[in-house]
Each structure stands twice: as C-alpha cells, then as structure tokens.
C-alpha cells in the first residue's frame, strides 16, 4: 500500500533538517519495502512570503488527505512585526486545530554519548525514559485573548471531553510501559486544573485500574524532572504546561536538537516534527542537529505507517551514532571535531545499512554518487 506523506519544510533550519531526514527515510523505505510518496507544501513564514497566509488552503487540503505529515519548523524574526493571527506560528496552530491533533507525544530518553553535553549529573540521568503527553488542540493557546497597551488577557478553557481523550491516550501508553501515569496540573489555583484532576481520577479508576495515577503540581514537577527524572514513566498535562516542561526536559538529553514529537488525532491525520524551533541564526550553515527530525521519522514509521521494525532499526542506528560520534556543534565538546547536518544523516544511513539484516545495493537511495 502506498503511504502519502506531506512534507512541510517551513522556515529557518526546517528545510535543512527535513531534507536530511527524508534522505534517511528513503534509505529505510528501500530496505523495508515501504512505498512512500512525498509531496511538499508551504507553511509558516515561507507560506506568508509566497501566498500571504501562514496556512494556505492548498497546504491544509493536502494534509487532510495525507497518511502522515512531516514538519521542519516555523517562525523567525523576519515576521515579528506581524499581528499574532498573521504570524508564521499561527499556521502550525491552525493546522493542529484543523486536523484535531489533540495528543502530542514527546519521548525523553538520554543516550550515552550525548549526556556529557547535559549539565545534569550522570547518576541522575541513569534510567531516565519518560514520555510526555501534551494536550495540543485546546487550552490557553486557543482561547479568547485581548491585548491593549495597558491591559491584556488570555483565556484557558477545557471541556471534560477534551481532557478525557488525552488522558485515555496517555493511559494506553502507560499500559504498554510501566503502568505509571503522572498528571501535572495547578489544581491548587486553576479551575481548569481542578477539572483535569477530577476527570483524570474518574477515568483512571474506572477504565485503567492497573495504572497508578499520581497528581503533581506543575512547579513540583518542573523541579522533579530535573532533580529526579527517573521517577517518571508517562506524564500527561495541558497545552501550556506540556510545552514548557517538555522543552525543559531537553536538558536531560544534552540538546533540544535531539527531541522528536508526534501529534496524533482520533482520525487518520498525524503530524511529526522535532521539538526545536526554526533557529534562524543557524539556517543555511549546515550546523543544525537533524536527529530530532530523524527520530520524528521513526515515530511516523511506528504510528502512521505501521512499520515498527523499520522504526526500531532506525532508532537503533541513531542511538549507535550518538554513542560513538560524530557530533553537530550542539553536542561537540571542547576540542572535538564537528560534523554537518547532512554528514550526520550520512552516518546514520551508513550505520543503518551496516546491520546484518539490511540489504546494501550498489547505489541505494540516499547514497551520494557525486
């Protein structure tokens, strides 16, 4: 069966890391006999420049028909003067809302060979393997807002149904892992958090009695993620807290450039993107780390293309390269040589092909024949 993949390079380093990841995907697809057809479209600042809007109707329509979507990154100072509803980031928010991408998965798993770049002590990182499940299509990012020179407000609103579906999603992942789920909220202050806690407690007791539920205030969770991260298995939380905590957790891995994400819906559509932003200061320099994007491809293989063996093989290749080097500038230590975005992708492709069960044709997809 042919899988339709829509690629949204976006802005800044987005096109570079996406191009590197697509070369890796091409090699993996060849060896696992996956039929993937790709089509590129515009989003974010690139779409504003080309079409006058951050999410053109053509892009949205393509994504609605796709089996999966790969996104590079959006945003940059070039468009800072635009109103909030016209900025590049609005294109991504609108796409999430339009496709009902309510559940965002952000795995955090430090790999030996990169943790030396983390300021966290190695013994604290031992055994860390957490999954942060962030509600993605509601909350404060989508609520009513007003800005005036001397007054502003943002509205965070949730329904019980919106909370229920993401709690169930997180609970199902916890069932497959270590049967431990932590709800992160601010129930001592926020009415929405009290609703989250009530709904989650009811669902877990009735539907997932084998999964232990722990409720933790967000300030305590922020401290524990840094000081005692191995205590967490699966974390579920709202849109704002999930955004902040998952980016903070990147310090455990050594670089924000290593983290992937998957945004899932109740229907077919799913979007995969690295956690990092567009980093316009790095654009065009071939120094961005493509691993977050490549790991996002692995998540796509697992959750959208029904190719778990291909996903696992790719993840093993990535981890092998991260353990042994080479490294992009974000991970290179003092005096260590650095590699480029495309060169790191080449190393991952070569590591993938070196496995016994992988065929290596004379000119396989992804091979530089120049």
Question: Could you confirm whether 309 is annotated as catalytic?
Answer: no
Read off the tokens for 171.
């609970």
Q: Which of 94, 154, 214, 247 is catalytic?
A: 247
Q: Token match 């229907």: residue? A: 267
Neighbours of 68 (CB within 10 A): 24
Neighbours of 108 (CB within 10 A): 23
Is the CB of residue 352 less than 8 Å from the CB of residue 27?
Answer: yes
Question: Could you confirm whether 30 is annotated as catalytic?
Answer: no
Q: Which of 67, 233, 238, 243 is catalytic?
A: 243
Q: Which of 30, 67, 141, 346 is catalytic?
A: 141
Contacts of 131 (CB under 8 A, 6+ apart): 105, 106, 107, 108, 170, 173, 177, 233, 234, 235
Q: What angle do CA 365, 366, 367 make, to 5 degrees?
A: 95
The C-alpha atoms of residue 132 and residue 252 are separated, in whole angstroms, by: 13
Q: Token match 């943790």: residue? A: 115
Q: Which of 186, 233, 238, 272 is catalytic?
A: 186
Question: Could you confirm whether 247 is annotated as catalytic?
Answer: yes
Neighbours of 33 (CB within 10 A): 9
Q: Which of 58, 126, 147, 219 is catalytic?
A: 219
Question: Could you confirm whether 35 is annotated as catalytic?
Answer: no
Question: Could you confirm whether 49 is annotated as catalytic?
Answer: no
Residues acting as catalytic residues: 141, 186, 219, 243, 247
């Amino acid at each position: 069966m042919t899988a339709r993949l829509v690629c949204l390079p976006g802005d800044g380093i987005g096109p570079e890391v996406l191009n590197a990841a697509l070369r890796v995907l091409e090699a993996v697809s060849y060896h696992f006999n996956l039929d993937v057809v790709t089509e590129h479209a515009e989003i974010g600042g690139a779409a504003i420049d080309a079409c006058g809007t951050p999410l053109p109707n053509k892009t949205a329509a393509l994504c609605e028909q796709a089996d999966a979507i790969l996104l590079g990154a959006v945003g940059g100072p070039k468009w800072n003067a635009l109103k909030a509803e016209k900025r590049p980031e609005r294109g991504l928010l609108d796409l999430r809302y339009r496709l009902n991408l309510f559940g965002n998965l952000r795995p955090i798993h430090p790999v030996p060979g990169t943790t030396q770049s983390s300021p966290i002590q190695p013994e604290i990182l031992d055994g860390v393997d957490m999954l942060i499940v962030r509600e993605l299509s509601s909350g404060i990012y989508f609520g009513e807002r007003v800005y005036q020179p001397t007054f502003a407000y943002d509205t965070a609103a949730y329904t019980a149904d919106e909370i229920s579906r993401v709690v169930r999603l997180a609970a199902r992942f916890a069932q497959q892992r270590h049967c431990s789920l932590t709800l992160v909220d601010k129930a001592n202050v926020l009415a929405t958090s009290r609703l989250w806690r009530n709904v989650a407690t009811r669902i877990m007791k009735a539907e997932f009695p084998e999964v232990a539920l722990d409720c933790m205030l967000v300030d305590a969770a922020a401290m524990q993620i840094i000081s005692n991260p191995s205590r967490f298995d699966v974390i579920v939380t709202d849109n704002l807290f999930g955004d902040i905590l998952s980016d903070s957790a990147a310090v455990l891995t050594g670089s924000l450039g290593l983290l992937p994400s998957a945004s899932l819906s109740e229907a077919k559509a799913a979007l995969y993107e690295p956690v990092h932003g567009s980093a316009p200061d790095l654009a065009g320099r071939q120094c961005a780390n493509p691993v977050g994007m490549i790991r996002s491809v692995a998540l796509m293989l697992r959750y959208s293309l029904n190719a778990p063996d291909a996903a696992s093989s790719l993840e093993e290749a990535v981890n092998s390269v991260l353990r042994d080097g080479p490294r992009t500038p974000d991970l290179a230590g003092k005096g260590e040589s650095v590699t480029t975005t495309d060169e790191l992708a080449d190393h991952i492709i070569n590591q993938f092909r070196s496995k016994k069960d992988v065929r290596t044709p004379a000119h396989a997809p992804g091979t530089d024949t120049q």
